[in-house]
């Protein structure tokens, strides 16, 4: 069994600065990014990529030449060094208003009054803020990025949420992923992939037309399109995961998902191309983390043959799967929607495996393996 005690999430906090405060924040971002570019110049010219050496080369000059605090400068140095970690062959440039990182020495919160105290080149600023998830405030920990986006300032604050004690869960709701239904739960809820498919078809058509043109502006449009598609799927994943967690919340059941290793196997090639492997992984991760936040245990089970196994008699055969949507057992004749049959198998594997988490070992079916664990 593997337990993770804390979950790291990012809390989006919107700052509500006065005009003057906004100016100070902008100046701070600008000065920090100018410094980042200067650090990058030095790294590039001297071909020095080691934190300690770079610090030695740039820190004192920058401290003298800028109004940036020691803490911000140290953050800037690490930021620039990090960008060279992947590739040392291209010199890095930083956007004039790119995000900068704060830690507790230069940023604090008054939760009750909803005010942050944030360092700027013009001194500490007390800025009101809003946040839609105040329940996470007690868990604020570590760094935050100050981000300027479409004329607004945000803090992307790291929070570490402790995992609730695992409840004594007897039953699990299994979730199966597919294309016709992006998700099917073992208690019969279906989340259609139709909207996704319509948008995908539209986008594919557009993409083809643009690819044919091949012009510069066509390429720009293609890039925009793939961003749009990504955001659309992400939104769908948020909606579905939220609903599944909501539906489970009141049942005092846990959620069972297929573990990642076999996930690649079960989401077949054609399906991966339609919704995208990353999108299924994202959906799966969204369900897992939203469940955790609501104190719902999540169990990952061995995914082998979940779609070929009869959920009534346990018979495993390729020919059980008559069509994409229909399951008919060749042994006992049991027939059911194929996604639902798979979801029930996932749920029952969790129930079989689960007692190891809470009680001494009970029943273990050898073919199920011991791969299941609590996240
Ligand atoms: Zn059967």
The answer to whether residues 359 and 370 touch, using CB atoms and an 8 Å cutoff, is no
Residue written as tokens 């066509």? 218
> Which has more pLDDT, 33 or 137?
33
Tell me: pLDDT of 136 over 90.
Answer: no
Which pLDDT belongs to residue 355? 38
Tell me: pLDDT of 20 over 50.
Answer: yes
Q: What is the pLDDT of residues 303-336, one digit of tens each?
A: 888 889 999 888 999 888 877 788 999 988 889 9
Name the band, by pLDDT with cuts 50, 70 and 90, for residue 2.
Answer: very low
3-state secondary structure of 193: coil
Average pLDDT, the chain: 83
Cα 154 to Cα 147: distance, rounded to the nearest angstrom: 5
Rg (CA), the chain: 26
Mean pLDDT across 19-46: 97
106 CA distance to ligand 1 middle (Å): 64
**Strand bridging mode 254-258 / 298-301:** parallel
343 CA distance to ligand 1 middle (Å): 15
26 CA distance to ligand 1 middle (Å): 66
Which pLDDT belongs to residue 213? 85
SS (H, E, C) 96-117: CCCCEEECCCCEEEECCCCEEE
Phi, psi of 119 (to 5 degrees): -70, 140
Edge-to-edge strands, sheet with 6-15:
100-102, 140-149, 152-162, 6-15, 123-130, 115-120, 107-110
3-state secondary structure of 304: coil
> Which has more pLDDT, 164 or 31?
31
Mean pLDDT across 168-192: 86
Which pLDDT belongs to residue 79? 92
317 CA distance to ligand 1 middle (Å): 10
15 CA distance to ligand 1 middle (Å): 59
Which pLDDT belongs to residue 364? 27
Per cent of the chain over pLDDT 70 is 85
Query: For the range 121-126, what are the long-range contacts, defined as Cβ-Cβ under 8 Å and sequence gap of 24 or more?
Result: 121/24, 121/27, 121/28, 121/31, 121/67, 121/68, 122/24, 122/27, 122/28, 125/17, 125/21, 125/24, 125/25
* Residues near 238 by beta carbon (within 8 Å), at least 6 away in sequence: 286
336 CA distance to ligand 1 middle (Å): 10
Mean pLDDT across 214-235: 86
Give Cα 335 to chain centroid, integer Å.
36
Top mean-pLDDT range of 16-25, 197-206, 249-258, 341-350:
16-25
> Which has more pLDDT, 375 or 322?
322
Top mean-pLDDT range of 100-104, 164-168, 263-267:
100-104
337 CA distance to ligand 1 middle (Å): 13
Top mean-pLDDT range of 3-17, 39-53, 352-366:
39-53
Tell me: pLDDT of 265 over 50.
Answer: no
Which pLDDT belongs to residue 227? 85
309 CA distance to ligand 1 middle (Å): 8
Q: Mark the residues whose beta carbon lies below 5 A from ion ligand 1.
A: 310, 312-313, 315, 329, 331-332, 334
354 CA distance to ligand 1 middle (Å): 24
The answer to whether residues 28 and 121 touch, using CB atoms and an 8 Å cutoff, is yes
> Which has more pLDDT, 274 or 53?
53
267 CA distance to ligand 1 middle (Å): 23
Give Cα 86 to chain centroid, integer Å.
21
Residue written as tokens 């809390």? 11
Cα-based angle 282, 287, 290 (whole degrees, multiple of 5): 115
């Amino acid at each position: 069994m593997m337990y993770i005690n804390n979950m790291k999430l990012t809390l989006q906090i919107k700052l509500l600065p006065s005009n003057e405060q906004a100016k100070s924040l902008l100046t701070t971002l600008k000065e920090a990014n100018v410094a980042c570019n200067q650090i990058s110049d030095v790294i590039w010219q001297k071909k020095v990529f080691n934190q300690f050496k770079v610090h030695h080369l740039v820190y004192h000059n920058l401290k003298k030449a800028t109004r940036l605090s020691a803490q911000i400068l140290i953050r800037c140095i690490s930021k620039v060094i990090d960008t060279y970690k992947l590739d040392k062959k291209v010199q890095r440039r930083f956007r004039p208003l790119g995000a900068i990182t704060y830690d507790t020495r230069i940023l604090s919160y008054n939760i009750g009054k909803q005010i942050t105290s944030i360092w700027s080149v013009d001194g500490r600023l007390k800025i009101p803020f809003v946040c839609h998830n105040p329940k996470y405030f007690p868990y604020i920990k570590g760094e935050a990025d100050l981000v300027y986006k479409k004329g607004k300032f945000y803090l992307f604050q790291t929070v570490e949420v402790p995992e609730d004690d695992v409840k004594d869960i007897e039953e699990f709701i299994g979730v199966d992923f597919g294309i016709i239904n992006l998700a099917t739960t073992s208690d019969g809820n279906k989340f259609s992939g139709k909207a996704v498919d319509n948008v995908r078809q539209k986008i594919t058509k557009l993409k083809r037309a643009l690819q044919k043109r091949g012009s510069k502006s066509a390429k720009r449009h293609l890039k925009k399109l793939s961003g749009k598609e990504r955001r659309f799927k992400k939104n769908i994943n948020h909606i579905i995961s939220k609903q599944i967690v909501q539906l489970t919340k009141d049942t005092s059941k846990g959620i069972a998902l297929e573990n990642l290793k076999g996930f690649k196997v079960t989401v077949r090639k054609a399906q991966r191309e339609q919704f995208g492997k990353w999108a299924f992984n994202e959906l799966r991760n969204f369900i897992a983390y939203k469940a955790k936040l609501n104190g719902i245990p999540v169990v990952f089970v061995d995914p082998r043959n979940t779609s070929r196994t009869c959920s009534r008699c346990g018979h495993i055969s390729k020919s059980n799967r008559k069509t994409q949507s229909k399951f008919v057992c060749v042994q006992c004749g049991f027939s059911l929607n194929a996604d639902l049959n798979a979801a029930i198998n996932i749920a029952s594997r969790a129930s079989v495996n689960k007692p190891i988490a809470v009680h001494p070992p009970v029943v273990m079916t050898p073919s199920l393996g011991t791969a299941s664990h609590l996240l």
